[in-house]
Chain A
Amino acid sequence: MSDGSAHGGMYGRGLRYLRARWRVLVRLGGWSVLETGQTFLTGYAPARALDEGFLAGRPGVGLGWLGVAGIGVLVGAFGTVRVYAGVAALVEPLRDVLVGRVVERGVREADAGALSGLTQQVEIARDTFAGLVMVSRSFVFTAVGAVVGLASLDPRLLLVVLPPLAAGLGLFAATLRPLARRQEEFLVADEALADGLGRVCPGLRDITAAGAEARVAGDTGRLVDTEQRAAYSLARWSVLRVASLALGGQLPIVLLLACAPWLLARGVTTGALVGALAYVTQSLLPALRNLVHGLGTSGSRLVVVLRRLVREPATAPAAGGQVVRREPHGAPPLPSRTGTPGPDDDGTYPAAPGMAAHPPAPALPGDRTDAQPADRHAGAAGHRLTPHTPAGPTDHGPGTRPAGADARPGTAPRPADRAPALSLTAVSFAYGPAATPVVDHLDLALPAGAHLAVVGPSGIGKSTLTALVAGLLRPTGGSIRLCGHPVPSPDAAALRVLIPQEAYVHTGTLAENLGHLRMDPVPEPELLAAAEAVGLAPLLEALGGPQASVDPAALSAGERQLVALTRAYLSYAPLVLLDEATCHLDPPAEERAERAFANRPGTTLVVVAHRISSARRAGRVLLMDGSRTAYGTHDELVRDSPAYRELVGGWSAVPPKRSEPALPLGDPDRVDAVAGPGLAGDRGHVVAHGPVRQAQVPGDLRDGGPLGREG
């Protein structure tokens, strides 16, 4: 932890924060002056009361002076009331800033820890900051009041009181940093312990089952020991606080007495001596005690909490989409790997460096990395889609859509006219330098209007693929383009919409939820039409129309998915990524939703399939299965890919050991009729060489064409 720079940055920011609020500081100072007045009277009034009143045989005058002190107390109390308002004006904006930061980071990084940050850490920061302001302000003004009072009683009193006070403050200042470090160590140890216990308690069943009680007790015991050691060290170091308190607050009492003969001989009155003792015991000592205790504990607590709250967001979104960093581990944000994993890997798994070392996708026997064939195919693909293809989003409901409403009016289509809707070139992705790539040199080109299903066993990287296309993850190698625009870029962001498995519905009206991806409110007829197309209409009616408010917790998972799907349907994005977005819908509802997107004008659809029926509806299928990646139509894959057959068999829930794959599932005649000579062999070759390059560019797409539009 770069201690100095972190502190420096923090203090710099703190100063800027205070400088921006100088008016508040002035107001706070103004009201605090009343407190100074009260402190001044603490010693001055009794001194006068004694000298001119009670000792002079005029009790009335003495009572008068004490009455003045009483008024001073009341005025000071009024000042206290106003001081709180000033503190609020200083503290509440800080809280606002912190809440803003926490929310922003929570939204950006999906940091679940943001919630505890919001409800606990921000409040700790708020309380400790307020405490610090109160304590340090109070000390400054009390000290000023006492010093002025001592000076007006007799300046010589200052000679006795000030040196030890300064020495005490100096000692305190010198010990502030080591004390803060002990305090911080304690807080860190405490958090680590809380974190450890927070995992042990929910895991008791597993610990018991594994018979690992002793080990876990040992691990937890070590955390307890660390915390105890930190607390001991803190307690011992706190003695320094006592020392500075004794030096600055108690020593002046003794010195005043010791010097009393000298002072009295030089005309210091009895009252002044009593007043001086009152200043020391009643004002300076308590204020110093508050400062020493308050600044020592709250100060370091605030620094720790603030550092946590305002820490810079993760440097790169390399893994921000999925990897939720937990603070206690202090795991550094994963760096965005733009190159291939280095050769410095430990070599335990030769696969990792070995595979990554391959040059980007050696060209295929054909020339299919070129976009041209894809377009050729697009031309032949679907009668319904063809006219829309080149224009993409612009011809999508031109009547209802003001051109200005779009974030990238008119810019997208021009360079994209001839580019595929989605193209991946030698795309690789790994979660870390030592990790085996999830996606390894994947090439893929989807013409506009295509409908692709991505299938494969769970955890194989299908969602990683959509996350890459959606810009949530950055590839570690290769490039992704949407209609010719590189990912990530604002242009590309406007061209795609991702509907993940966990549908996002927020508290608010249904219309707000559905119009989430549009800048302006969606006209109601368009909204209703979309709801009808996707299958949301019954829910929309049941809830009471678009203006009804929605409680996400009251909706079923399937209903939430329908809302998210309709929202995506209403967006202007031509590329739609459904990542198991229909998994909570029943098969007919799923089919309806998928067909709605397939029929949505100008739409290129990528579906991470939850059921095999999705794959059968799609024109093309990309099978991801580690080394066995294959691409083609459903029927082709059934014919050529054992892995796909196994998956289809599994999906139909027939135990594989007892069943032959249900071949042919598709329409064999059509496959035979369109498959060009040699194509099947080509694909078989591709599968056989899987380990070299995970996936292949689409086969000659003419064969897929006629099958592409089943829906």
Chain B
Amino acid sequence: MTTRTSPPAPHGLLGPAPARCVLLCLASTAATGAGLLLPAALGRTLDLLLAQAPATRWVLWCAGLVLLLALLDAAETVLGGTLDARTTAWLRRRLTAHVLAVGPRATARFGPGDLVARLVGNAAQAGTAPTARAALLAALAGPVGAVVALGLVSPWLAAVFLAGAPVLALLLRAFARDTRECVTRYQEVQGRIAQALSEAVGGHRTIRAAGTEDRETARILRPLPELSEAGHRMWRVQGRASGQSVAVAPLLQLGVLAVAGVLLARHRITVGEVLAASRYAVLATGVGVLVGQLSGLARARAAAGRLDEVLAEPAVRHGERGLPPGPGRLELRGVTALRGARAVLDGVDLVVPGGTTLAVVGRSGAGKSLLAAVAGRLVEPDAGEVLLDGVPLRELAHDELRRSIGYAFERPALLGGTVEEEIGLALPSPAPARVREAARTARADDFVRRLPSGYDTLVADAPRSGGESQRLGLARAFAHGGRLLILDDALSSLDTVTEARIADALVSGGAGGTRLLVAHRTATAARADAVAWLDGGRVRAVGPHEELWRLPEYRAVFGGGEDAADGGPA
């Protein structure tokens, strides 16, 4: 049924563009090498110049090194930027394709918000991994090479530096510890303001109608001084911390310089070597860069791990069969579907003859929505089989499966296009006439035409009630067509009149086809040719609503709501 299409972590260490990655590594390492050579060359040149010896060759050497550094820097910039972009884009394309192949399971497993965070934020972080790896060698070589170079100038210089370095590390760590507490405080106040604002956004009609916007704004902003205070504190703490760390590196360099000066006074080294030593001391304090690189790489790896979790989710596999001509007979054979360890559907056998309408009723939690999902292969049954006109759904080709089965949901997800695009989501090419026809059937045409730009209005800009969203979803299903139409509680937010009109169109609509309706209202159940009564994951009874209505327990399914009062067959 399902298979692991892709093993986790197939994106190798070097990412999708290994050549570029290797080039970047070479460029940055070469730049580091040139950077390490430059102080020595500078020192040597200076010595020659001070001795008034011919130094043109050495000056040219230095110029060449500087030029090389600039060129390598440019190459690094372009290679790094494009490598990040390419890796990130590659990851996102792969993840999107995989998530789409996994389908609703992915949302169920991770939650939509988390999934977005992984595709957007984590992919961007993970995308920097090849660059970070490529730069790692250079970042390591820089400080190490500088310390070695110091040692070559004089072992004393390296000794001074290495003795002072631990102080640097300690102070840098103090910084990280200090800020966290006041950041928490800041976020807490910010959260209070956000909470009050979100309440007010929810109550904007009340506020605007009463004209109390100013008072509300003032009330919400009451904690602002606290926020400001917490913010100032953050800066103070940060200022203290960076005051400490800012002093460490220059002091270390001065220490090296002092020892170099003394060595110079004793004629153990030359002026040029003093100059070189002071440069090497600076390069050696670049060890902080290495720490940054390493933590960046760690972040990228953690992000890549979160992406691997998504990729490890198995994708749905489709068969290659087509459907024979048929009326759309739906058959469930021993279908069992688990949620965790609990069998929400437990060996369900059900046949919906082609061209008929079956209403599925049951208490909440009885498994109605899961049945609807299984019937159209939105969810894979854990056992049993679903057949459409005699062909198991999992043997059907993807396009054939989706062409043949249409869905409408209680809360349709709208994808942000125009109303026209939303309704025509399932259509391979634009079909304005079909979209409008479907909208009329779903009783959505009226309100769509009232939107600012009619069918061209972006759904995000369309003021919608729950009932209106639902009708857009219905129109989408009607435009989709197919021999099986599954309505998962897709009429619940409609007023009874509209529901009745749509249900009539559904049941009596000439196109034929089989309909499966998950219903809460007696009126809907009464309209169907038959009702399947789900109870505890099993089909308790199948029959016309009128017959089932005689059973008190069946009546109890419809609860004590308004419907139940006089909802029986009249």
Q: Are B81 and A238 in contact (CB under 8 A)?
A: yes
Chain A: minimal CB distance from B539 (Å): 23
Docked pose: A119 CA to B194 CA in angstroms: 7
Find the A residue at minimum CB distance from B471: A459
Q: Are B120 and A656 in contact (CB under 8 A)?
A: no
Q: Does A484 contact B (CB under 8 A)?
A: no
**Contact of B96 (CB < 8 Å), options: A200, A273, A435, A647:** A200
Sample 22 A-B pairs with CB under 8 A, ordered by A number.
Answer: A46-B278, A50-B274, A59-B261, A63-B261, A80-B246, A92-B228, A100-B221, A201-B112, A201-B119, A232-B81, A239-B78, A250-B70, A257-B59, A273-B46, A323-B461, A351-B449, A470-B208, A493-B211, A652-B566, A653-B523, A656-B497, A657-B504
Q: Does B447 contact A (CB under 8 A)?
A: yes
Q: Are B195 and A66 in contact (CB under 8 A)?
A: no
- Chain A residues whose CB sits within 8 angstroms of the CB of B446 once the complex forms: 436, 459-460, 626
Instruction: Fill in one digit per residue for B510-540: 1 if any A CB lies within 8 Å of its CB, else 0.
Output: 0000000000011100110000000000000
Chain B: minimal CB distance from A422 (Å): 14
Q: Are A653 and B496 in contact (CB under 8 A)?
A: yes
- Chain A residues whose CB sits within 8 angstroms of the CB of B115 once the complex forms: 201
Q: Does B204 contact A (CB under 8 A)?
A: yes
Find the B residue at minimum CB distance from A110: B204
Given A108-B213, A228-B89, A274-B271, the answer on whether A70 and B254 have CB atoms closer than 8 Å is yes
Find the A residue at minimum CB distance from B242: A80
Find the A residue at minimum CB distance from B233: A88
- Chain A residues whose CB sits within 8 angstroms of the CB of B243 once the complex forms: 77-78, 80-81, 84
Q: Are B107 and A204 in contact (CB under 8 A)?
A: yes
Q: Are B81 and A334 in contact (CB under 8 A)?
A: no
Given A50-B271, A220-B96, A653-B565, the answer on whether A436 and B220 have CB atoms closer than 8 Å is no
Given A331-B461, A436-B446, the answer on whether A507 and B195 have CB atoms closer than 8 Å is yes
**Contact of B264 (CB < 8 Å), options: A55, A264, A494:** A55
Docked pose: A341 CA to B82 CA in angstroms: 50
Q: Are A650 and B495 in contact (CB under 8 A)?
A: yes
- Taking CB atoms and an 8 Å cut-off, the chain A residues in 38-52 that contact chain B are 38, 42, 46, 49-50
Which of A211-219, A596-604, A673-681 is found at the contact surface with chain B?
A211-219
Which of A275-283, A362-370, A695-703 is found at the contact surface with chain B?
A275-283
Q: Does B210 contact A (CB under 8 A)?
A: yes
Q: Does A87 contact B (CB under 8 A)?
A: yes
Find the A residue at minimum CB distance from B249: A73
Q: Are B107 and A62 in contact (CB under 8 A)?
A: no
Find the B residue at minimum CB distance from A286: B282
Given A232-B85, A242-B77, A323-B463, the answer on whether A212 and B426 have CB atoms closer than 8 Å is yes
Chain B: minimal CB distance from A407 (Å): 9
- Chain B residues whose CB sits within 8 angstroms of the CB of A106 once the complex forms: 197, 200-201
Chain B: minimal CB distance from A448 (Å): 19
Docked pose: A321 CA to B86 CA in angstroms: 42
Chain A's interface size range is: 35 or more
Find the A residue at minimum CB distance from B461: A331
Docked pose: A437 CA to B244 CA in angstroms: 68
Q: Does B97 contact A (CB under 8 A)?
A: yes
**Contact of A206 (CB < 8 Å), options: B45, B405, B412, B569:** B412
Q: Are B100 and A210 in contact (CB under 8 A)?
A: no
Q: Are A329 and B461 in contact (CB under 8 A)?
A: yes
Query: A-side binding surface: helix, strand, loop or mixed?
Result: helix
Docked pose: A499 CA to B405 CA in angstroms: 43
- Chain A residues whose CB sits within 8 angstroms of the CB of B5 once the complex forms: none
Find the B residue at minimum CB distance from A59: B265
Q: Does A209 contact B (CB under 8 A)?
A: yes
Chain A: minimal CB distance from B484 (Å): 12
- Chain B residues whose CB sits within 8 angstroms of the CB of A436 once the complex forms: 446, 449-450, 454
Q: Does B73 contact A (CB under 8 A)?
A: yes
Q: Are B493 and A257 in contact (CB under 8 A)?
A: no
Which of A140-148, A301-309, A426-434 is found at the contact surface with chain B?
A426-434
Docked pose: A500 CA to B552 CA in angstroms: 38
Q: Does A485 contact B (CB under 8 A)?
A: no
**Contact of A470 (CB < 8 Å), options: B205, B227, B407:** B205
- Chain B residues whose CB sits within 8 angstroms of the CB of A577 once the complex forms: 209
- Taking CB atoms and an 8 Å cut-off, the chain B residues in 243-277 that contact chain A are 243-244, 246-247, 250-251, 253-254, 257-258, 261-262, 264-265, 271, 274-275
Docked pose: A243 CA to B278 CA in angstroms: 26
Q: Does A646 contact B (CB under 8 A)?
A: yes
Docked pose: A321 CA to B208 CA in angstroms: 8
Find the A residue at minimum CB distance from B486: A209
Given A246-B70, A647-B497, the answer on whether A73 and B49 have CB atoms closer than 8 Å is no
Q: Does A177 contact B (CB under 8 A)?
A: no
Docked pose: A706 CA to B250 CA in angstroms: 94
- Chain B residues whose CB sits within 8 angstroms of the CB of A70 once the complex forms: 251, 254
Q: Does A270 contact B (CB under 8 A)?
A: yes
Chain A: minimal CB distance from B129 (Å): 16
Chain B: minimal CB distance from A139 (Å): 16
Q: Does B238 contact A (CB under 8 A)?
A: yes
Chain A: minimal CB distance from B390 (Å): 21
Q: Are B82 and A74 in contact (CB under 8 A)?
A: no
Chain B: minimal CB distance from A473 (Å): 10
Q: Are A270 and B200 in contact (CB under 8 A)?
A: no
Which of A15-23, A190-198, A410-418 is found at the contact surface with chain B?
A190-198
- Taking CB atoms and an 8 Å cut-off, the chain B residues in 353-382 that contact chain A are 376, 378
Docked pose: A89 CA to B102 CA in angstroms: 51
| Residue among B62, B209, B449 having the largest count of chain A Cβ atoms under 10 Å | B209
Q: Are B66 and A250 in contact (CB under 8 A)?
A: yes
Docked pose: A654 CA to B421 CA in angstroms: 36
Q: Are B220 and A435 in contact (CB under 8 A)?
A: no
Instruction: Fill in one digit per residue for B47-62: 1 if any A CB lies within 8 Å of its CB, else 0.
Output: 0011010010001001
Which of B301-309, B320-328, B330-338, B394-402 is found at the contact surface with chain A?
B394-402
Q: Does A202 contact B (CB under 8 A)?
A: yes
Chain B: minimal CB distance from A442 (Å): 14
**Contact of A459 (CB < 8 Å), options: B42, B66, B257, B467:** B467
Q: Does A266 contact B (CB under 8 A)?
A: no
Q: Given known contacts A197-B119, A432-B453, what 14 new A-B pairs fall within 8 Å (CB)? A: A50-B261, A73-B250, A74-B247, A88-B232, A193-B92, A207-B425, A231-B84, A253-B62, A274-B46, A349-B449, A431-B451, A434-B452, A499-B206, A506-B203
Docked pose: A334 CA to B480 CA in angstroms: 32
Q: Does A258 contact B (CB under 8 A)?
A: yes
Q: Does B116 contact A (CB under 8 A)?
A: yes
Q: Does A82 contact B (CB under 8 A)?
A: yes
Find the A residue at minimum CB distance from B65: A254
Docked pose: A434 CA to B449 CA in angstroms: 8
Q: Are A66 and B258 in contact (CB under 8 A)?
A: yes
Docked pose: A277 CA to B456 CA in angstroms: 65
- Chain B residues whose CB sits within 8 angstroms of the CB of A331 once the complex forms: 458, 460-461
- Chain B residues whose CB sits within 8 angstroms of the CB of A282 once the complex forms: 253, 278, 282
Q: Are A258 and B59 in contact (CB under 8 A)?
A: yes
Docked pose: A470 CA to B208 CA in angstroms: 8
**Contact of A209 (CB < 8 Å), options: B78, B402, B493, B527:** B402
- Chain A residues whose CB sits within 8 angstroms of the CB of B447 once the complex forms: 459
Q: Are B261 and A53 in contact (CB under 8 A)?
A: yes
Q: Does B547 contact A (CB under 8 A)?
A: no
Q: Are A224 and B70 in contact (CB under 8 A)?
A: no
Q: Does B80 contact A (CB under 8 A)?
A: yes
Q: Are B49 and A264 in contact (CB under 8 A)?
A: yes
Q: Are A458 and B449 in contact (CB under 8 A)?
A: no
Find the B residue at minimum CB distance from A494: B211
| Residue among B96, B116, B120, B570 having the largest count of chain A Cβ atoms under 10 Å | B96
Q: Are B522 and A653 in contact (CB under 8 A)?
A: yes
Q: Are A650 and B500 in contact (CB under 8 A)?
A: yes
**Contact of B199 (CB < 8 Å), options: A83, A84, A505:** A505
Find the A residue at minimum CB distance from B63: A254
- Chain A residues whose CB sits within 8 angstroms of the CB of B97 once the complex forms: 217
Q: Does B151 contact A (CB under 8 A)?
A: no
- Chain B residues whose CB sits within 8 angstroms of the CB of A99 once the complex forms: 193, 221, 224, 227
Closest A-B pairs by Cβ, 8 of them: A504-B203, A211-B402, A235-B81, A432-B452, A84-B239, A231-B85, A110-B204, A650-B496
